[in-house]
Chains A and B, each alone.
Chain A
């Protein structure tokens, strides 16, 4: 089954998943639109996780701006058995957000290491974006989100 909406993302993401041994992965735009997922079984979970990840990313960035003058671009939350890492990946197509959940099979050091490699691979693989690409409207957002979820869960 495909894990990404666009083919050029597949290889870098699969390598990240294999190397870092993470359990769940979500790649999304900063708006919350899903681009890739691994480990989720239901589209509703992906939709919720994307909305939350986008909100956390936006909040962390704003806190960073207010405290430090620069947005915070990575966040790590260690739980008792599972940990969450959320980080921003700049590409030619704009910033993407990666949300990943891992357990004792991995570590934050490994996740950060392979996250950096993923960023470099995605930046290298990203096709050039059309300079005149319009910003998506709310109606487009909804339909794009649903189309992406349908692609990821094999419905189209």
Chain B
């Protein structure tokens, strides 16, 4: 089967310590275009909800006059979700609490620039 253009990018993100899943999602549709997730991650649900979250963050930043959203981080009890978007595409990662978010952020910002 042919690999998607995002397969390598997602594989790099998923190799980070504590990352349990990464996706490229269409913000408008809320559907994962490609994903690399561990067993047990409900990929479709996370993709749809994270895309909706990113869209609302983009609209909020626009309304507040802050400009484009560059990086979105959501911390939770046992981990978190990070998102970085470009045009209609959003790169999303799910991580455990032990993940190095700083390093992940750098990698995601770099990867988001490559999204087309």
| CB of A146 within 8 Å of the partner chain | no
Residue pair A108, B45 in contact (C-beta under 8 Å): no
Out of A104, A106, A107, A113, name the residue touching B45 (CB < 8 Å): A113
The residues in B between 16 and 38 inclusive whose CB is less than 8 angstroms from any CB of A are: 25-26, 28-32
A-B contact count (CB 8 A): 35
The residue in chain B whose Cβ has the minimal distance to the Cβ of A114 is B48
The residue in chain A whose Cβ has the minimal distance to the Cβ of B48 is A109
Q: Report the minimum CB–CB distance from B34 to chain A (whole Å).
A: 14
| CB of A75 within 8 Å of the partner chain | no
Bound-state Cα–Cα, A108 to B51, Å: 11
B43-81 CB mask vs A (1 if < 8 Å, else 0) is 011011101100100000000000000000000000000
| CB of A121 within 8 Å of the partner chain | no
Q: Report the minimum CB–CB distance from B42 to chain A (whole Å).
A: 9
Bound-state Cα–Cα, A107 to B31, Å: 9
Residue pair B44, A107 in contact (C-beta under 8 Å): no
Interface core residue of B25, B32, B47, B48 (most chain A CB under 10 Å)? B48
Q: Report the minimum CB–CB distance from A123 to chain B (whole Å).
A: 18
A43-76 CB mask vs B (1 if < 8 Å, else 0) is 0000000000000000000000000000000000
Interface core residue of B29, B31, B49 (most chain A CB under 10 Å)? B29
Chain B positions within 8 Å of A110 at CB level: 30, 48-49, 52
Residue pair A108, B31 in contact (C-beta under 8 Å): yes
| CB of A112 within 8 Å of the partner chain | yes
Q: Report the minimum CB–CB distance from A133 to chain B (whole Å).
A: 35
Bound-state Cα–Cα, A107 to B100, Å: 31
Chain A positions within 8 Å of B30 at CB level: 107-110, 113
Q: Report the minimum CB–CB distance from A23 to chain B (whole Å).
A: 16
Chain A positions within 8 Å of B32 at CB level: 109
Q: Which 3 A-B pairs have the closest CB atoms?
A: A109-B30, A109-B48, A107-B30
In the complex, besides A107-B28, A107-B48, A110-B48, 11 extra interface pairs with C-beta distance below 8 angstroms are: A107-B55, A108-B30, A108-B31, A109-B30, A109-B44, A109-B48, A110-B49, A112-B44, A112-B48, A113-B30, A113-B44
